[in-house]
Amino acid sequence: MLYPLDDTIAAIASAPGGSPRGIVRISGPATAACLQSLLLPSELPLSGRTSAIAASIRLAPLAPLPAEVYCWPAGRSYTGQNVAELHTFGSPPLLEHLLEAVCRAGARLAEPGEFTLRAFLAGRIDLTQAEGVLGTIDAVGPHQLDAALVQLAGGLAEPLRNLRESLFELLAHLEAGFDFADEDLPFLDAGELQRQLDQARRQIERIVERMTARRESSSVVRVVLAGPPNAGKSSLFNALAADAGALVSDLPGTTRDYLCADLNLNGAACRLIDTAGIDPGVVSGSSPPDRTAQEIARQLAEQADVLLLCRESGGEAISEEPPVVRLAGGPVTIHVCTKADLAACRDSAPATVVTSAQTGEGIGELEHRIREAVVELSMGEGDVVVGTAVRCRESLRGAAASLHRACDLAVREEGEELIAAEIRTALDELGHVVGAVYTDDLLDRIFSRFCVGK
């Protein structure tokens, strides 16, 4: 076996450099033997219980060293094995000396990430949680830290575990059906099968969505004003960007190109983009520059993170609730009625923001809504630790695709063997994500990024 568990590992687990407190961590079957050789018999922690004692470490030729000793018995520890931590002064030469003594007493130096690797191999955590440990250590900002801690606490592990369990159950039902095929007993109602497959697929897609919502931290959130010509987009742009200076005119088609202004909405940074009005009738009867401006407007709207969809208040009302949620890959759309000083807005949908660039009505509310969207999108940045997102995206997509095919097969009432095969493929892919299926190479790649002692 490539990863031995029957030897005992030790490492300095505190940060390098001098500090008031330093830690040497030990894990493995010889943990008790190590403690025996370093502590007085009367000081040995009681076995079989989690304990913490004050003790003195004998490190000849040094004088006895005051320390606190923490012990976790196998099954109750991080690694699943007997674990002890010796907490003493954080002097680098002293800790080196202590580590040497521990190694002489039967431990060996731990490899980078080996404690967490053991925790994974013991089934204490899954791979996404191991990556959560790494993400926590490496976090450079509050969002990243938050995401890593959520992942460490099982934010991905738990939904994936539940998902795999229900798919295993579904598979068992199907396979039971094969064994009793002659008896023509419906083990699982066809509709129920479809429902469960579809539900599982959606759940995976939501996880993928969380991963792909991640943007490069350098790329700013793009808020795009879009709508028909003369809708009042540039006026809103000016109102929002105060002194950004967009050209405003009463001739339809004033904005030929697009304008940008960087906004800071109470700490939430975004780029506001004003586009040319999109006129459905423009394609045939217009001059080339118009067509170009419209094409640019369309592209900008497609690339928007937040879309401010503008139309005049006096225009036709939208009766049904416009979607405000971010659909897979699409922008957050905010519906805006303009020029409310000219005509009452007949729109009854409560999510629509009613504004007037003239009187300032609704501009504060619009800023608030944009800010909310920007903050939410920026939170998406930290939803999943980067390493996990990169490693798992393809597996999750593969799993979702298999379940999609399984569902299609179920709808067409095709062979249950084929459905079962697709479910098995999906389970395999999910297995890669959580580490139920892994290669040594993958583990090496993940755990070698840890520092020694973690």
Q: Which residues bind ligand GTP (CB under 6 A)?
A: 229-235, 248-250, 252-255, 276-277, 338-339, 341-342, 356-358
Q: How far apart are CA 418 and CA 22, in angstroms?
A: 57
As given in the structure block, the two tokens for residue 134 are: 């790494």
Residues 338/313, Cβ–Cβ less than 8 Å: yes
Contact between 60 and 103 under an 8 Å Cβ cutoff? The reply is no
Tokens of 52: 């913490």
At 115, give phi and psi (nearest 5°): -65, -45
**Class of residue 29 by CB neighbours under 10 A (exposed 0-12, middle 13-18, buried 19+):** middle
CB-nearer residue toward ligand GTP: 114 or 312: 312
Of 8, 77, 79, 234, the one binding Mg ion (CB under 5 A) is: 234
Q: How far is the CB of 277 from ligand GTP (least distance, A)?
A: 3
Question: Which residue in 27, 77, 196, 255 binds Mg ion (CB under 5 A)?
Answer: 255
State the DSSP string of 310-367: EEETTSPPP-SPPP-S--TTPPEEEEEEE-TTTS------TTSEE--TTT-TTHHHHH
d(CA 295, CA 301): 10
**Least distance to Mg ion, CB of residue 281, Å:** 17
Token pair 């925790």 is found at 119
Q: Is 313 in the site for Mg ion (CB under 5 A)?
A: no
β-bridge pairing 332-338 and 306-312:
parallel
Q: Look at residue 129 and give the partner it binds from ligand GTP, Mg ion, none, a contact being a CB closer than 5 to 8 Å depending on partner kind.
A: none
Q: Smallest gap, in angstroms, from Cβ of residue 233 to Mg ion?
A: 5
Binding site partner of 253, from Mg ion, ligand GTP, none, Cβ cut-off 5-8 A by kind = ligand GTP
**Which segment (158-166, 217-225, 255-263, 330-338) binds Mg ion by CB under 5 A?**
255-263
Q: For residues 227 and 380, which CB has a smaller minimum distance to Mg ion in the complex?
A: 227
Q: With respect to ligand GTP, which residue has the nearer C-beta, 128 or 235? A: 235
Q: How far is the CB of 307 from Mg ion (least distance, A)?
A: 16
| Choice between 296 and 451, CB closer to Mg ion | 296
Q: How far is the CB of 320 from ligand GTP (least distance, A)?
A: 24
Looking at beta carbons, which residue is closest to ligand GTP?
A: 277
